[in-house]
C-alpha cells in the first residue's frame, strides 16, 4: 500500500519550506544553507550574507578566511570576496547600531536594486566593486 500526501498537505509542506528558507535568507545564512545541501549558489545570494548577517557572522567570516578555515568552504573566490567585504564593512562600523544603520542605508538598498534590475554580480570582483563603491558614497566613510 502506498501512502500519498494530500494536496493540502503538500501545499502546507511547501509553505513551511518557503518560510524556513526565508528565515535562513534573512539571517544572512542562505549561501551556507545552499552550500551544505550541495546546491548551486546563485550570484545574487552573496550580497545577502553581508546585508543580513550579524556582526558576529561578519567577524567570523573575517576570522575564518585563513588557511585554517573549513576545507572547501572558504577557498571559493566568492567566499573570499565576501570575507574581504565583511572586513571592510566592519572597519567602517564595528558596533551593532552602526552596522544596522549601514545595512539599512547601503547594503539592503544595494541588494534590492540588484534584484529589481535583474543584474546580479557576474563575478566576485563585480560584487567587491559594487559594495566598495556604495560604501565609499556613504557618509560614514568620509571621515576615515
Confidence of residue 31 (pLDDT cuts 50, 70, 90): very high
Q: 143 vs 76, which has greater pLDDT?
A: 76
In this prediction, residue 64 carries a pLDDT of: 81
Single out the residue of 54, 49, 58, 2 nearest to residue 28, CA to CA: 49
In this prediction, residue 51 carries a pLDDT of: 96
In this prediction, residue 75 carries a pLDDT of: 63
Q: Which pLDDT tens digit goes with each residue over 105-131?
A: 999 999 999 888 888 889 999 999 999
Cα–Cα distance measured from residue 46 to residue 31, given in angstroms and rounded to the nearest whole number: 7
Q: Which pLDDT tens digit goes with each residue over 49-98?
A: 999 999 999 999 998 875 444 544 456 899 999 999 999 999 998 899 99
Count CB atoms within 10 A of the CB of residue 80: 16
In this prediction, residue 72 carries a pLDDT of: 43
pTM of the complete model: 0.81
Amino acid at each position: 500500500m502506498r501512502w500519498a500526501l494530500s494536496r493540502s498537505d503538500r501545499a502546507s509542506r511547501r509553505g513551511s519550506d518557503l518560510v524556513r528558507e526565508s528565515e535562513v535568507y534573512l539571517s544572512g545564512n542562505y549561501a551556507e544553507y545552499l552550500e551544505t545541501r550541495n546546491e548551486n549558489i546563485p550570484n545574487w545570494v552573496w550580497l545577502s550574507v553581508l546585508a543580513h548577517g550579524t556582526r558576529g557572522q561578519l567577524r567570523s567570516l573575517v576570522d575564518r578566511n585563513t588557511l585554517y578555515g573549513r576545507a572547501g568552504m572558504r577557498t571559493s573566490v566568492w567566499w573570499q570576496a565576501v570575507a574581504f567585504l565583511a572586513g571592510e564593512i566592519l572597519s567602517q562600523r564595528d558596533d551593532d547600531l552602526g552596522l544596522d544603520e549601514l545595512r539599512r542605508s547601503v547594503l539592503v538598498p544595494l541588494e534590492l536594486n540588484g534584484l529589481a534590475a535583474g543584474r546580479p554580480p557576474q563575478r566576485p570582483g563585480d560584487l567587491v566593486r559594487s559594495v566598495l563603491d556604495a560604501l565609499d558614497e556613504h557618509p560614514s566613510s568620509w571621515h576615515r
